[in-house]
Amino acid sequence: MQIVLNSVVSMHYRVATSEGEQVDASTPDAPLTFLHGHGQIIPGLEESLTGKVEGHVADLTIAPEKAYGAYDDGLDLRVTKDAFPAEIQPRLLPGFRFMAEHPTAEGQQVMFTVAKVDEQGVYVSGNHPLAGKTLLFHVEVVGVRAASAHELEHGHAHGGPGCGHEDPGHDHGQEHKHGGNCGHQH
């Protein structure tokens, strides 16, 4: 069965940057399972998998534009501490994250992470940690099947290990807990 729009794909993978930094990998008993064609994995990976079949093994080099985007210097900012609400200020430590409007693209929300705080202010970055990085993937497709009507209704694959979706009757009214190996791009 070929991978097409709405296939449920399971694959083992590992990924590193072109600089040799290990980024992520599936574990032997828990392949990544995702609904193909819905942007749940990076575009370059999704494109390369389309039309492939179970058993497909590949080494892929994916440019930033097809991964987490180019690095945007305009998203590295220094702001004064008092630009933040008073109740937030004590929490402004490296790693603290918050949503704010893009400094130039009006209306676009960006997740910022605090990098550093000193007497000059708070240094924040809205770049994804993998922005600007070329990624080297090793992938191995271990399963391809058609999505169920229920999965299509939800817009994601069910039954992947660690996905929290083993119960096929889970409540649509509640936000899904997408912990673990759920096949979602974060």
> Which range, of 48-56, 66-74, 75-83, 148-156, touches Zn ion by CB under 5 A?
148-156
- Total of chain residues touching Zn ion, rule CB under 5 A: 1
**Residues across the chain:** 186
Nearest to 143 by CA among 46, 49, 11: 11
Give dist(CA 74, CA 51) in Å, integer.
38
> Which range, of 24-32, 49-57, 90-98, 151-159, touches Zn ion by CB under 5 A?
151-159
What value, to the nearest 5°, has the Cα angle with vertex 155 and ends 154 and 159? 70
Q: What single-letter DSSP state applies at residue 156?
A: S
Least distance in angstroms from the C-beta of 102 to Zn ion = 30
Nearest to 57 by CA among 176, 160, 139: 139
| 154 is a contact residue toward Zn ion (CB under 5 A) | yes
Choice between 69 and 164, CB closer to Zn ion: 164
Choice between 12 and 154, CB closer to Zn ion: 154
Residue ranges in contact with Zn ion by CB under 5 A = 154
